[in-house]
Amino acid sequence: MIMDPWSSQTVDYKKIIKEFGVSEISDDIRQFVVETAKSKNVNSKWFTHNIIFSHRDFDKFIDAHKRGESIAILTGVKPSGEFHFGTKQVIQELIMFQKLFNAKTYYCVADFEAYADNGKWIDETSETAVSNVADVLALGLDPNNAYIYRQSMEPIVQKFAYYFSRKITNATFRALYGDKSFSLYLSALTQIGDILLPQSDEHSGPKHVLVPVGIDQDPHLRLTRDVAEKNGFITPSSTYHYFMKSLDGSQKMSKRNPDSMLTLSDSDDDIKRKISKALTGGRDTVQEQKEKGGQPEKCMVYELSYYHVENIDELESRRQKCKSGELTCGECKKEIISKLITFMNKHREKKKLYLPLARAIVEKGRFDGQSKEGQEMIKRYLVKI
């Protein structure tokens, strides 16, 4: 079985856990996260809602943290478009981890990969990169404890990619990814560089690194873990999440149906339109709904709320009102739309404040919030906060 990180195939999560030896999140891990989150007043919904469902060596990362060893967190996103809610989810996980572990957190603008995968050269994606980085900051990444960079402008990443390519053969690539273009193989090598960057000498050497991603990224982690083991780095850890279904109920997001997913740049009207059209678990008539109740387990509005809008208590109350027939889908959608619009308005305001810093970061190509230069950039471009 090959998992292709560049095609949005539907995934059988259970099968993956079995075939690739990924571990499920244990009760111990969940308890540790939830308790730590409580004591630090951090939202741990990605764990309490069981959205992060599996991992590699997350327990080892937690142990290193408990021993007070040096740790870091890292993820990356291609600047191939505005953030949709799937990306929002990854970034919120990243931010949750930054707060939980109080660790330096890396965000990679995967502009080389956007070229490899989407054919857009780096100058074509720089504006999107600015918007993406502003979203990351507005969602709550603390720039004072962050390293943000573009693959195309980070020489350590490129050096690592070249260096470690020497012992990787075509057969390995084919076994991991199937038969792909060299640019995609190159972006896999670049991703090794990304994941090992926090362990470079320039970043104070070996440390435990946690990589929150979707399970489709696991082939990159297997490759990097292998390289790490053979070259004196600490094996990186990762967490994997479920992705919410599209608003039309299909497993994967379709580029042909842009209304099937919300994005962080949607207008209020976009949100209204998309949610109005979403697949629900409602009955054919209001009468039938009153008698039999709705089916939240089949409903994309409920799914959206589960991932992105409500906490456990609010969800439970919605589920009960839906099942008892008390709530109509029309009213229910109205409530979710209004909550989302409130969130989006706040987000847009915050994003405006962060855009100048985001632009400066993307222009520079690499930003270290802990360096003197990084601190000066924060002071200069974030005066209003």
Q: Cα dist. 177→7, 115, 174 in Å? A: 10, 18, 5
Closest separation in Å from C-beta 309 to ligand SF4 = 11
Contact predicate 22/53, CB 8 Å: no
| Site for ligand SF4 contains 149 (CB under 6 A) | no
- The type of residue at 214 is G
Contact predicate 54/24, CB 8 Å: yes
Task: State the binding partner of 110 from ligand TRP, ligand SF4, none, CB within 5 to 8 A by kind.
Answer: ligand TRP
Closest separation in Å from C-beta 60 to ligand TRP = 18
For 290, list phi and psi in degrees, rounded to 5.
Answer: -65, -35
Token pair, residue 323, equals 């099942």
Task: State the binding partner of 211 from ligand TRP, ligand SF4, none, CB within 5 to 8 A by kind.
Answer: ligand TRP
Chain CA centroid to CA 15, Å: 22
Q: For residue 154, how many other CB atoms are within 10 A of its CB?
A: 21
| Site for ligand TRP contains 211 (CB under 6 A) | yes
Closest separation in Å from C-beta 346 to ligand SF4 = 24
Among 110, 280, 368, 381, binds ligand SF4 (CB under 6 A): 280
Residues 319-348, one symbol each (x = binds ligand SF4 by CB under 6 A, - = not), give ---x----x-x--xx---------------
Name which of 195 and 377 has its Cβ closer to ligand TRP.
Answer: 195
Closest separation in Å from C-beta 220 to ligand TRP = 6
| Site for ligand SF4 contains 306 (CB under 6 A) | no
Name which of 77 and 176 has its Cβ closer to ligand TRP.
Answer: 77
Closest separation in Å from C-beta 91 to ligand TRP = 11
Closest separation in Å from C-beta 112 to ligand TRP = 8
Q: Tell me the torsion sign for CA atoms 222, 223, 229, 230.
A: positive
Stretch that binds ligand SF4, among 3-11, 190-198, 280-288, 357-365 (CB under 6 A): 280-288
- Phi/psi region, residue 28 (left: phi>0; alpha: psi -120 to 50; beta: rest), is alpha
Q: For residue 136, how many other CB atoms are within 10 A of its CB?
A: 30
| Site for ligand SF4 contains 309 (CB under 6 A) | no
333/190 Cα distance (integer angstroms): 43
Name which of 296 and 365 has its Cβ closer to ligand SF4.
Answer: 296
357/316 Cα distance (integer angstroms): 40
Among 196, 213, 247, 332, binds ligand TRP (CB under 6 A): 213
Token pair, residue 134, equals 């502003």
Q: For residue 385, how many other CB atoms are within 10 A of its CB?
A: 10
Among 54, 125, 191, 305, binds ligand TRP (CB under 6 A): 191
